[in-house]
Every structure is written in C-alpha cells, then in structure tokens.
Amino acid sequence: MDVTALLDPTGAVIVLGGTLLATCVGSGRRELAAALRCAGQLFIRPFRFETARAEIARDVEELRVDGVLRSGPFHSSDSEIATATRAMIRDRSLASLIAAHERFRTQRTRLRALALRPIRLAAEMAPVFGMAGTLFALSQMDHDPAAGGLIMDGIGIAIVTTLYGLMLAHLVLHPLASLIARRGAAEEEERQMLIDWMTRQLSGTVPPSAPRQGEHASPLPRARTRLERVV
C-alpha cells in the first residue's frame, strides 16, 4: 500500500478551508467562542468530587463547630464553589448555596449547547466539501485518451478528497462533540455529588432558608426592653 497516495495538499486545503469557512459563516461569534472554550477545557484536569471535597472538608468542619455567623470563606481552587459558599455564608442559608449551584449549572449547560452547534455544523459540512474537492479534481483531469495513467491518478486524487471529508467528520468532529457532551455530563454529576454532600453535612448548622428581614440569626433569646422588665 502506497501511503503517499493519500497525501493531497490541494484536497486538504479544499476540505479544511471550506469546512472552516462554512462553519464561520453559519455560526455566531458567541458560538465560535464557546466552541473554542469548551475544546480548550478538554486539555485541563476535569472536576472531581473527591478532590473538591478534600479541599473544603476542613472549612465544612469549622462551620459545623463554629456556626455560620463565625465562619469564614471556604478555601477552594474552584471559583464556582468559592462563590456558592460565600453566598451561603452571606445569606446564612443552604438555599443560597443551591441557588448559586443551579445558576452556574444553567450557565454551563448553555455554554455547551452553544459550543456544540458549530462543531456539529462543521461535521455536516466536511463530507460536503470532500465531495466538492472530488468534483474539482475530476474537472482538472486530462481527458486525452492517450494519457491513461494521468486519468487514473486524477481519479485517485478525487477519491482521496472524499476520504478527507469523511475522516474529518467521523474521526475528528463527531468524536469532539461527543467528548464535550460526555465531559459536561460527568462534571454535572460530580458537582451535584459535592452539593448533596455539603447539604447533608451542614443541614443541622445552616438554616435551609435565609432569615426574614427583622429576624435574628442568633439562637439566643431576644433581650427584654425596660418596659417589658417593669411589667
């Protein structure tokens, strides 16, 4: 098998360039930026429940012992966890923790949905431009019957461009979209496990909802006024 027969710079330029151009034209800037961001996140360490729990385990224990009024901010390398726990301590409510988690989950879901649109569009366009490269190669063939070898070479190049389009779609773009979706689903599961664990650990210390205006978070009884003592 001659591997060099699979190398066709012109066909590669047609397939890659055409697919990229069609994707950029058919997608918005937000979608393209989301695709680049999600693709870049595949190269960093994924979120892990055990690692995140180990980071905040001491803070959770201190909050259980000292109470929510004397607790400080949680020390976490994850910005979403740090923001959600600050909201919980500020509002003295587990509901604020859960609300922040839900807000971040909605943002992540929207980001992935935006990212998958241009990637799936590119997966659809790649075979189309593979066929376009084939037609271009056929149009450039020498149709002189005496040049039989050149005709066969042109047919080979035309077939290679179709192969480029199929390989780009099914070996790169479709797997990339599936990988982003699987990574996102795994992250949501791991983050939900962390929130469920924190809720169980802090349910006896942090109120389920924020105190209403005028109420005191301290469990000590309200001091009586002079009039009440006199009466």
pLDDT tens track, the chain, 231 positions: 556 657 778 888 889 999 999 999 999 999 999 999 999 999 999 999 999 999 999 999 999 988 888 888 899 999 999 999 999 999 999 999 999 999 999 999 999 999 999 999 999 999 999 998 888 777 766 555 554 445 555 566 678 888 999 999 999 999 999 999 999 999 999 999 999 999 999 988 888 876 555 554 444 334 343 334 433
In this structure, is residue 168 part of a structural domain?
yes
- For helices 49-66 and 174-202, what crossing angle results, to 10°? 20
**Residue 53 falls within a domain, yes or no?**
yes
Residue numbers of the domain that contains 24: 7-208
Q: Look at residue 1 and tell me if it is in a domain.
A: no
- Residue 120: left if φ>0, alpha if ψ -120 to 50, beta else—which one? alpha
Residue 188 maps to a domain: yes
Helix axes 174-202, 79-91, angle to 10 degrees: 30
* The two three-digit tokens of residue 58, written as one number: 């001491």
Tell me what pLDDT residue 228 has. Answer: 40
Please check whether residue 76 is in contact with residue 82, taking contact to mean a CB–CB distance below 8 angstroms: yes
Tokens coding 80? 């979403």
Residue 54 in any domain: the answer is: yes
Q: For residue 230, is it within any domain? A: no
- Segment holding 230, helix H or strand E: helix 226-230
**Single pTM value for the model:** 0.80
Residue-level pLDDT at 219: 40
Around Cβ 19, how many Cβ atoms within 10 Å? Answer: 25
* Measured distance CA(192)–CA(198) in Å, rounded: 10
171 within some domain: yes
Residue 61 in any domain: the answer is yes
Q: Give how many domains the chain has, as a whole number.
A: 1
